[in-house]
Structure 1
Amino acid sequence: MQRKRSYRLMPAMVVCMLFAFVMLTSGCGGSQQSQQQASQNKTQLDAALQRARNIGVPDSSLQPVIKQEYQLSSTSAPSTLFDASPATTYYLNQAKGYHQLLVQLQGIVTKVTGDTSTLAQIDMQQFQGSLARAQKLQVGNISAFTTEYNNDQNLLSSAHYPKDYIAVSNDASKASRALDLLSSTNAHLVLFKNTIGQMKAVHIDVTAMQAQYQSDLDTLNSITTPADFSNLSSLIDAQYQMAVVNSLQTLPYVGNAKLKEFQNQIDLLKTYGLNISAYQKLYNADAQAMRGATTINDYLTVAQKIDADIASMNNDMTQGAASYLISELDREANAWGQAHLYHDKSDSKNYILDSGYTMNGIGYWLQQELGWASYSGDYQSVLNDEKDQFFNFSMMQQDYSDPTPYNQVHATDLQMFQHYPSLQHGKVLMVSMVEQ
């Protein structure tokens, strides 16, 4: 009888064990619906995060959500016997947490989109301002930048996502930097050009530097990237420094040559019989300044001062030369005439052949013209006439020694044509007084 009772107890024990297992597992896992809801919400959040990355939301902006999601998913449901409510509550809270993070993420996406849109508009305004300033310089590849601005404006109008606005911002910012560098690089190039001009003004050979400047200008008018402008600016600075070094080696010699020219002008003015004391004082001051010059600017300043002082002599030099050359022409004509006398057999007397160039000839009329002069232009006109007479006198002397027959073209005839363009039209009869 006892053995039969034990057999009857075994099915009952199995049923109890199964019941306990079901109760145990159901108590530990919570409701299936709550688990599914948590899983679905996490999947939605992960998909939203991936989409946010795809449309250009920076990871730095997503980190708060990513960090909270990691913390939320790193926890485990509580384990309780015969009671599923704690686990169910856990999954419901987890689902709620994922949903809250999704809402937070949507807010981040909206904010980032708005911020990038605003920044893109600001960058485009800066691009527009930089472009307007660059256009006033009238240098550079402005047409390329204008096309780029129009393209960015179209992209901004059609933008929807952060990545669209960021792309516009990046390009506009890059273009603005390039345009700003265009302005500063052009300023360096203008300085280089002005320095070349100053050196040229004091008669320094600037052929190589002018070629460098032209090459730099061509490059400036073609490049469009900040890196290219930076490289060009560095090149111009190096060329400028080299020009300064070369000039510092050359300018002292140039300065001394200018001082010598100044002194020669003063000596010539003295020869003309004019007072040179004021000019000699200027020369002494310039010579002292040249000795004290140490920088390129010092040398250029002194050289320009010497040029200005020499230029200030122009009126006195013109007036003095106009008066002096009348007497000089008379002296030279008489000297040559005495050396080449013509003996007239009819009266057994000697005559000079070039009396027309003495004071008894053209000298008288030049003296009259000088007396009528009162302005610088008047004296210059007298001086020009005197130079023509010296040229004519020189042609007469050459013609005197020319064995070419009188009825053929002489070398001096051709030189006269070149000197007097008006003789190049029509027929010209050339008469030499020394061949009569």
Structure 2
Amino acid sequence: MGVSQPFISTRDRRRHAQGPSKRVRFSLLFLLCMGMLSGLLTACGGDAHLQQDAQQQQKSFEQALSHAQSVGVPNTLLQPIEKQQQDLQSSSAPWNFFDASIVDDYYRNLSQRYDALSIQTEGLIDSSTDRYRQQAVSDLDHLQSSLANKQKESLPLDTLTKFYQQNMSQEQKAQYPKDYLAISANAKDALATLNQMPTTLQKLQTLKDIIDLMKESKQDSSTLQKQYDDNYSEISKALKSQELTQVEKNVDKQTEQAAGSFQKLIPQLVKNKVDQYDTQVQQLKTYGVDNTQYQKVSDDLHTKGDSVKNLQDYLAFAKVYNSDLQGMQKDLTMGKASYEIKQFHQEVANWGGAHVYHNPYDGKDYWPDMGYMTKGIGEDLDRELSAASKLADYQQVLTDVENEVFHLQMYETDFNDKTPYTQSHATDIQLLQHYKLMGTQVIVVSFAEQALRLYENGVVVRSFQITAGRPELPAVPGLWSVMWRKTKTVFKSPYPKGSPYYYADTPINYAIMYHEGGYFLHDSWWRNDYGPGTQYFHIDSSGNTSANYGTHGCVNMPTDQAAWLYDHTSYNTSILMY
């Protein structure tokens, strides 16, 4: 059997003969139209290079924005730019089947907008950098001036000072806003810490008061002392005010705990303070100062002391006591300085009278400690006391007279020391140690020996004999600095012709000024003889009558030795005379 064929109707055969159906023709027409539309759209899309430029400008802007964020430009400053970015991102190219220039303009404008945003962002980086650099410098300057001002308050400023110096160094290396903002924040934190520190220390002082009082009454304060030391260490290391706030909380807790055990000590501690004040009132009387007003204050302190019952009462009482004590200090220091100067003059007279030097050349007797007499340093002390007016002035007078008392003691000891002048003397070393000069270069002049020794690091480098001031015009004992160094100069007499102290204009080869008023160490080419006794009237072997007396307060030496001393010393050399 053959394969059967499908049945095809006459109408179907007609359709095959006529070609594609309507559906096929419609499909073909749709495809043709789409092809034509695609070509039209392509033609209306504009210049592809403009689209690429816009994309590149957008990428450049996004990089600039990312850089601005990374270098620390604050978000508040970047928000307007980011808003414009969002607006551009939400826009799209217009559709126009007939005019490609509209699309080109869109992309051209988009490129320009992104370029403008890039420029704006870069400008914002530059302006922010300048702005925050200026702010950082201003904040550092403020911190520096505040640190300098707080120095007088004896605060533990080492950490804050080093922190300031570190930030100054960082400021020199900084490049971006974030760098300067960090420095500015550091400076502000440090300044806040600095301003809070006195308050924190004031709280800590309450704890210190309790410790001192416990020690005063022989109570064990080791635990409290450890707490105090730890707190002080934390304060000294603090760089932020929050750290000090935490210390204050610790101190409050520790003070409260200590107050309970402190309660039983109060009566004795009040008595100790009142007794201490009474002792100083009595000292005023000893010094010859009218103490009537201070006796009234003492009576008031006794009354206040009777009402002290607890820690708070005691701290209030101690504050009044400290104020009263401070109010007495000027009169007390003035009285003590005046009293000790009188004692000094008396000791000079007593010792000098007991060690009279009989001069065979003029048959007269002299006190050998003439440098400490009224014509010597004694006159300076009297003048200084008379000119004093403030507490600091009287404190300086007291310091000076106490130093001169020490010099006098060393002179009296050295007077009986038989050690050769070429060797180190025990009194020299004591003076060097007293003034902490063992590690420096010092010229030491001994009036008892009429000798000079140059010390370096506590060791005698060279020594030679000198001639110092005559009895009426002695050289001045004390610690002096080099005030002036001069070669080839001329000394002119401050005394008029006819005065026993007048001298003609005298050329000097080497001169080192040690005291105002024309006191020098210098060469004396007209002399032959130096050493003990030459400060008094004598007959010099040179035959020059002007060499028969001691100096006018200077220290003389042979020219070659003066030259050596001048060449081997400097303005940094100290001068000790005794």
Q: State the TM-score, normalizing by the size of structure 2.
A: 0.40
Distance in 2 of aligned mates of 1:87 and 1:25: 11
The alignment status of 1:74 with 2:90, answered yes or no, reads yes
> Which residue matches 2:172?
157
* Paired-residue identity, %: 28
Comparing both chains, which one has the higher relative contact order based on Cα–Cα distances under 8 Å and sequence gaps of 6 or more?
A: 1
Call closer, same or farther: CA 1:289–1:183 in 2, change over 3 Å: closer
Aligned 1:91-170 pairs, distance under 5 A: 91-140=107-156, 142=158, 144-170=159-185
Call closer, same or farther: CA 1:85–1:291 in 2, change over 3 Å: same
Q: Secondary structure at the match of 1:76?
A: coil
Q: Secondary structure at the match of 2:62?
A: helix
- Matched-pair contact (CA < 8 Å) for 1:127–1:172: yes
CA displacement at 1:162 relative to structure 2: 1.0
> Which residue matches 1:21?
38
Higher deviation after alignment, 40-49 or 123-132: 123-132
CA displacement at 1:19 relative to structure 2: 4.3
Deviations, residues 5-26 of structure 1 (Å, cap 9, x unaligned): xxxx999999886444311333
- Matched-pair contact (CA < 8 Å) for 1:141–1:220: no
Counterpart of 1:207 (choices 194, 197, 221) is: 221
Distance in 1 of aligned mates of 2:152 and 2:79: 46
Q: Secondary structure at the match of 2:117?
A: helix
Call closer, same or farther: CA 1:192–1:81 in 2, change over 3 Å: same
- How many corresponding residue pairs? 277
Q: Secondary structure at the match of 1:117?
A: helix
Aligned-pair RMSD on alpha carbons? 4.4
The alignment status of 1:182 with 2:197, answered yes or no, reads yes
Distance in 2 of aligned mates of 1:70 and 1:244: 66
Distance in 2 of aligned mates of 1:299 and 1:226: 30
Distance in 1 of aligned mates of 2:190 and 2:163: 8
The alignment status of 1:49 with 2:100, answered yes or no, reads no
Distance in 2 of aligned mates of 1:69 and 1:300: 66
By percentage of residues, which structure has more helix?
A: 1
Distance in 2 of aligned mates of 1:302 and 1:58: 54
Instruction: Letter of the 1:184 partner, please give it.
Output: T
Aligned 1:17-416 pairs, distance under 5 A: 18-27=35-44, 29-140=45-156, 142=158, 144-197=159-212, 203=217, 205=219, 207-208=221-222, 209-248=224-263, 251=266, 295-298=310-313
Deviations, residues 289-340 of structure 1 (Å, cap 9, x unaligned): 78865653435677999xx9xxxxxxxxxxxxxxxxxxxxxxxxxxxxxxxx
Call closer, same or farther: CA 1:291–1:81 in 2, change over 3 Å: same
Q: Secondary structure at the match of 1:148?
A: helix
Q: Secondary structure at the match of 2:93?
A: coil
CA displacement at 1:39 relative to structure 2: 1.1
- Matched-pair contact (CA < 8 Å) for 1:185–1:229: yes
Distance in 1 of aligned mates of 2:261 and 2:31: 109
CA displacement at 1:237 relative to structure 2: 2.1
Call closer, same or farther: CA 1:234–1:133 in 2, change over 3 Å: farther
Q: Secondary structure at the match of 1:47?
A: helix
Instruction: Letter of the 2:133 partner, please give it.
Output: S
Instruction: Letter of the 2:56 partner, please give it.
Output: Q
CA displacement at 1:120 relative to structure 2: 0.8
Call closer, same or farther: CA 1:192–1:30 in 2, change over 3 Å: same
Call closer, same or farther: CA 1:223–1:21 in 2, change over 3 Å: closer
Distance in 2 of aligned mates of 1:128 and 1:154: 13
- Matched-pair contact (CA < 8 Å) for 2:193–2:238: no
CA displacement at 1:121 relative to structure 2: 0.9
- Matched-pair contact (CA < 8 Å) for 1:139–1:220: no
CA displacement at 1:72 relative to structure 2: 0.9
CA displacement at 1:248 relative to structure 2: 4.7
Call closer, same or farther: CA 1:150–1:212 in 2, change over 3 Å: closer
- Matched-pair contact (CA < 8 Å) for 1:252–1:299: no
Deviations, residues 199-251 of structure 1 (Å, cap 9, x unaligned): 777x5847254454344334444555544433222222222233344445664
Distance in 2 of aligned mates of 1:13 and 1:292: 113
CA displacement at 1:48 relative to structure 2: 0.6
- Matched-pair contact (CA < 8 Å) for 2:210–2:262: no
Distance in 2 of aligned mates of 1:221 and 1:83: 77
Distance in 1 of aligned mates of 2:105 and 2:114: 14
Call closer, same or farther: CA 1:16–1:258 in 2, change over 3 Å: closer
Q: Secondary structure at the match of 2:115?
A: helix
CA displacement at 1:75 relative to structure 2: 1.5
Distance in 1 of aligned mates of 2:33 and 2:234: 93
- Matched-pair contact (CA < 8 Å) for 2:266–2:310: no
> Which residue matches 2:496?
none
Distance in 1 of aligned mates of 2:313 and 2:163: 45
- Matched-pair contact (CA < 8 Å) for 2:215–2:221: no
> Which residue matches 1:268?
none
> Which residue matches 1:384?
none
- Matched-pair contact (CA < 8 Å) for 2:72–2:177: yes
- Matched-pair contact (CA < 8 Å) for 1:34–1:92: yes
Distance in 2 of aligned mates of 1:301 and 1:169: 41
CA displacement at 1:45 relative to structure 2: 0.6
Higher deviation after alignment, 206-215 or 249-258: 249-258
- Matched-pair contact (CA < 8 Å) for 1:38–1:91: yes
The runs of 5 or more residues in structure 1 that have no matched partner are 260-284, 309-436
CA displacement at 1:78 relative to structure 2: 1.6
Call closer, same or farther: CA 1:75–1:247 in 2, change over 3 Å: same
Distance in 1 of aligned mates of 2:99 and 2:315: 100
Distance in 2 of aligned mates of 1:302 and 1:15: 109
- Matched-pair contact (CA < 8 Å) for 2:96–2:102: yes
Distance in 1 of aligned mates of 2:312 and 2:121: 64
CA displacement at 1:117 relative to structure 2: 0.9
Call closer, same or farther: CA 1:62–1:256 in 2, change over 3 Å: closer
CA displacement at 1:91 relative to structure 2: 1.7
Q: State the TM-score, normalizing by the size of structure 1.
A: 0.52
CA displacement at 1:147 relative to structure 2: 2.9
Distance in 1 of aligned mates of 2:317 and 2:163: 48
Call closer, same or farther: CA 1:169–1:17 in 2, change over 3 Å: closer
> Which residue matches 2:534?
none
- Matched-pair contact (CA < 8 Å) for 2:65–2:121: yes
